[in-house]
Structure 1
């Protein structure tokens, strides 16, 4: 996010807070600070907030791929936890007693003896 976009976002936030104060308390903070709604500085602030809203409107329609990602975060790609396609055993089904257990002793000389 560039400096202009950050400035525009900050002005939009200021405008939103001012509108919240007007809506809840009938108090216009920008007019109180800069000398009323008809004062030149108040009109400049209101104009900048409006232009900033238009600038932020363009961000709303940007595809997600174009949004800047924090490069300090470590992103691990291609993690495989073996959770898809039935790679983990299904513990919800009861065990089949007829199913033969696999021979885990595959080393020579450790095979179980037949009776």
Structure 2
């Protein structure tokens, strides 16, 4: 995931938590922290959450093949001092 998409996702999560608090407890966390709903800083946070949601919109329509997961990556935990054997390599000639 690109850095912009990670930031956008974080903003959407913040907005989702805020909407959850509004729905459950009628408590607007952003407004209470930044000085009310009409305060400039609160409006800026609301705008950033909205822009973040728009940036996450392509993720909704991305194919499964385009999404990269941790298990798709081949991680190498070798050191610079010695080579390590791959435990999944069953054709290792050293065992013969």
TM norm structure 2: 0.72
Larger radius of gyration: 1
Aligned residues: 75
Task: State the alpha-carbon separation in 1 of the partners of residues 56 and 37 from structure 2.
Answer: 24
SS at match of 2:36: coil
Paired residues for 1:45-60 under 5 Å: 45-60=45-60
Task: State the alpha-carbon separation in 1 of the partners of residues 27 and 74 from structure 2.
Answer: 42
Tell me the CA shift for residue 15 of structure 1: 0.2
Runs of 4 or more, structure 1, over 4 Å off, are none
Larger relative contact order (Cα-Cα within 8 Å, sequence gap ≥ 6): 2
Task: State the alpha-carbon separation in 2 of the partners of residues 17 and 35 from structure 1.
Answer: 18
Structure 2, unmatched stretches of 5+, are 77-87, 89-96
Specify which structure has the higher proportion of helix.
Answer: 2
CA RMSD of aligned residues (A): 1.7
Structure 1 residues 29 and 72 mapped into 2: Cα distance closer, same or farther (>3 Å)? farther
Structure 1, unmatched stretches of 5+, are 77-115
Aligned to 1:12: 12
SS at match of 1:52: helix
